[in-house]
Amino acid sequence: MKPVDRRRRAASALAAACALTCALTVLATTAANVAVAPPAHAAPSPAPGGPREADGTRKKSLEDVRAEIEGLYRQAGAATDAYNLAEEQAEKQSAEIARLSRAIADGRTRIDRLRQRAGAAARAQYRSGGIPEEARLVLTDDPQLFLDGAGRLVQGQKATRDLLAELERRQQDLETYTQDAGTEWNRLEQHRSAQQEARKHIDEKIAAAEKLESRLAAEERTRLRELEQRDRQRQQTAWLESGALKEINRAASPQGRDAIAFATAQIGKPYVWGAEGPDSYDCSGLTQRAWGTAGRGIPRTSQEQWRLLPRVAVKDMRPGDLIIYYADATHVGMYIGDGSMVHAPRPGRDVTVAGAGSMPILGVVRPDK
């Protein structure tokens, strides 16, 4: 392998490692923020003179509980996005380690073959009595034999030099591959440890939200659902009244239709963080699998989908496009037309159809642009 190829491989491995490190930095920061951040969109605290619990603390209204639960799920969603990105990069790193391992095995095989060729040349010289080719050439009195031998001598010397140079290059490549594989393996182990720590933070936030909801009476849980739906409907109505749909009248592309068909076929399946199907999904797992089935590979997380896919204006949106929600791009749904989208909402909910404007829209991306 040429030195420039080795440098390119090293640069590629370094770029992948840097991307993974950045993802894990985001993941660690998110986990740290999750541990201390207050619930997103928290409702105002009750008046000091409001109802109190038996221990004297102010009693939370059902709206307070709803805002707290939503905040916990938002925090878990942000950490999930970072975890999924780190997981995707770890898979790429594992593939790089496998490639390096194959290169090491291939390099060893080639070195063994070169050594065999060098040994064969040495044995041939031994069988000729150990007389150097140059000496035999000088001793001949046949002009034609002299010329033929001179040509073979030049060719043989060049072949020997080339053989030794190739052997040296292969040995250097093998050393580089071995060092790279060891480094990548150590990094992968560190990243797996960090991922497990992040997984614990996500599970803790989801458990806290589920615990809050489990404390409610059946009637209160029903009202909680109604409050959630009312808030989503309020946002959807405001979005529609803004005139957002006036210019949205475009048809889906053939791939977009296929993606929609897949996504809507998953309606009723549960949200599970980190899931990519076929029995459950998280929000970006659903959109990635839908577009993958349609023949277009897209990034794994909503944040990477927002960062890497072509963006279009909301007024130019067409069915099949992905709507990215919240300022931190931690939720995604697929627009299906008529002001609606299909998405996997959060833990405890199933894949469903909802209003495209029922959450704060960050922007729109188009996988097949």
Could you report the per-residue pLDDT of 203-237, keeping only the tens digit for each? 777 787 778 777 777 888 788 888 888 989 999 99
Contacts of 247 (CB under 8 A, 6+ apart): 315, 316
For residue 83, pLDDT over 50 is answered with yes
Rounded to the nearest 5 degrees, what angle is found at the Cα of 63, between the Cα atoms of 59 and 68? 85
> Residue 366 corresponds to which tokens in the numbers above?
């188009």
Q: Find the catalytic residue in 18, 41, 201, 283.
A: 283
| Per-residue pLDDT, 18 | 43
Q: Find the catalytic residue in 22, 41, 191, 331.
A: 331
For residue 366, pLDDT over 80 is answered with yes
Phi and psi torsions of 270, nearest 5°: -75, 150
Distance CA 280, CA 131 (A): 77
Using pLDDT thresholds of 50, 70 and 90, give the confidence band for residue 354.
Answer: very high
Q: With a threshold of 0.85, does the pTM exceed it? A: no
Which helix (H) or strand (E) element contains residue 263?
helix 254-265
Q: Cα–Cα distances in Å, from 154 out to 158, 162, 191, 369?
A: 6, 12, 55, 60
Whether 343 sits among the annotated catalytic residues: the reply is: yes
Whether 191 sits among the annotated catalytic residues: the reply is: no
| Per-residue pLDDT, 25 | 43
Contacts of 292 (CB under 8 A, 6+ apart): 298
The closest alpha carbon to 42, from 68, 61, 62, 77, belongs to: 68
